[in-house]
Amino acid sequence: MSLSLIQVAGFGSIIVLFAAVLFVIFLVASAVRIVNEYERGVIFRLGRVQGTAKGPGLFFLIPIVDRMVKIDLRTVTMDVPPQDLITRDNVPARVNAVVYFRVIDPNKSVIEVENHVLATSQISQTTLRSVLGQKDLDDLLTDRESINEELQSIIDLQTDPWGSRSAWLRSRTSRSPGDATINGGPGPGRAGEAGEDHLRRRGVPGFPAPARCR
C-alpha cells in the first residue's frame, strides 16, 4: 500500500514539475521580443508608454506586465482612389494620386490614431477633392508641381500629430465622370463636351478652335 502511494506521489510530482517547466518556457518566450532594423517597438507597461520606441535588437519584457507594439518605419506606397470633382470653372474632372509616406514618430502613430495608414488614406482623398476643386482645369493641366507641393504640405499638416509624414506625392487628372479624357483626347457625354470646349478655348493641342463663319 505504501509503495503504491509513493509511486502515485512520484508520478504527480513529475506532472507538476513538467507543468512548471512549460510555464517557465511560456513566460520566457512571451518576454523575448526581436525588433528588426526597419521596425521600432512601443512598450506599454500596465497601459503606460515607457519612453521612446525601442529597436532594433533583442529586448526582454516583464511577462504579463509589459506589451510591445511593433511599427514599420519603411515607406508606404498608397494609391488614392480616383475622385470625381467639379473644377472652379465648372468642368467635371476625375483625379487620382499616389502618396509615399512613412512613420517618423512611432509613439504618436500608436497613441494618437487607431490605424495611421487608413487615416492617411482618408485624409488624402478629402484633401485631393477639396484642393483640386478650387482650381481651374487649366491649372490642373499646367501647374501640377505647385499643386502637388500644396497637397503634400496640407496632408503633412494633418498627419503630423499622428507621427507620419509624406515623402512624395503625385496627382494626375485623368478623366471626367463622362469618360472624357481631360489630359488629351475626346470622350462621349456632356461632361466630355464641356471639357473639350474648355480645352478648345484654351488652345490646347489636339483641340483645334472651330472654324469661323464668314
**E strands in the chain:** 32-35, 39-45, 48-49, 57-60, 66-72, 76-86, 92-103, 164-173
Q: What is the pLDDT of residue 198?
A: 52
pLDDT, position 180: 43
The residue written with cell numbers 519584457 in the block is 61
- pTM, to two decimals: 0.69
Q: Which residue has the higher pLDDT, 36 or 195?
A: 36
Spatial contact of 102 and 74, defined as CB atoms under 8 Å apart? yes
Residues 148-167 pLDDT 10s: 999 999 999 999 999 999 88
C-alpha cell at 114: 487607431
Q: What pLDDT is stored for residue 59 in this prediction?
A: 93
What band does 8 get if pLDDT is binned at 50, 70 and 90?
low
Q: Minimum mean pLDDT among 91-95, 125-129, 198-202: which range?
A: 198-202
Q: What value does the mean pLDDT take over residues 103-128?
A: 93
Can you tell me the distance from the alpha carbon of 17 to that of 6, in angstroms, rounded to the nearest whole number? 16
Q: Residue 10: which pLDDT band, with cuts at 50, 70 and 90?
A: low
111-117 long-range Cβ contacts below 8 angstroms, 24+ apart: 111/49, 112/161, 112/162, 112/163, 113/162, 116/159, 116/162, 116/163, 116/164, 117/76, 117/78
Rounded to an integer, the average pLDDT of 28-35 is 88
- Express each pLDDT in 42-98 by its tens digit: 999 999 999 999 989 999 999 889 999 999 999 999 998 888 888 888 888 888 899
> Which cell is 26 given?
511560456
Give 46-69 as a DSSP string.
TTEE-SSPB-SEEEEPPTTTEEEE
